[in-house]
Structure 1
């Protein structure tokens, strides 16, 4: 709704009205949208980094478990070989079957570890992609919108200054109604 003192009203009110209208035209919504987009990207990145860390812990746990089991299997094989050298038992076949089952289990565990390592690698790549592409694009959008906002603000300020200067040159009443402009103030003060 336009104010009643747009052209012939006191210059202060005209400037305030122009300022308000100019403020409403500033591209602040694009800045807000760009910032909201970056916040959304940061939240998504944080979730992705949590997934990556969970996968990393899973890989580390499986690696420790596999190393421990390999060491146990190695020690058991060593003991069995020592027993085979000293004793020729008839139970050797059952012990060999047990060792084969352990070896199969270790191989299954090793394959599972490789699958989990691959998943971790994929998580790392996704995190890097999100960081490089998403954040770079998001921040560039924020900076571009801030630049446009700054340009529009500067133009608004310059227009208001120009109006003020033109108003003074035209000899309008000063910004405070009943006050003096440059010419009347000088004559009242005896200058």
Structure 2
């Protein structure tokens, strides 16, 4: 008679052979679950890093932080109170009339522009009156003047330790007579 503590090798082999078809199915199911989980994690990371404009944010190498652009608010347009009217620097009488609007995204900048309106108007009047009809006759000349006026406003605000976040300057009316 066989010892009850002894294990029959034939029975063990038979159990392993019978269990192998279930192990294969279990392996396939676990691989599918693993694949689906990986795809889910990948999609989650993609959508978490996706920015508003459809691009994905850059991940800084060696760090887990994500580089994000500052969210910009809506543009705020500020019309300078009165049109600028100046004599141009030419022999004979020639006039330039310009209406100016500024664009920023910060109400503090608008407040600073309003606070220092006399100084800004003075500097813009000096800049505009130094122009000749020939210098502003072309689109390039007008664009150059626009850039100079924008730089002047930024310089004034910076020198007064005010927020200088004027993003752009627009001539909404420009007449030469």
Relative to the length of structure 1, the TM-score reads 0.30
With CA pairs under 8 Å and 6+ residues apart, which has the higher RCO, 1 or 2? 1
Relative to the length of structure 2, the TM-score reads 0.31
**Larger helix proportion, structure 1 or 2?**
1
Larger radius of gyration between Structure 1 and Structure 2: 1
**Larger strand proportion, structure 1 or 2?**
2
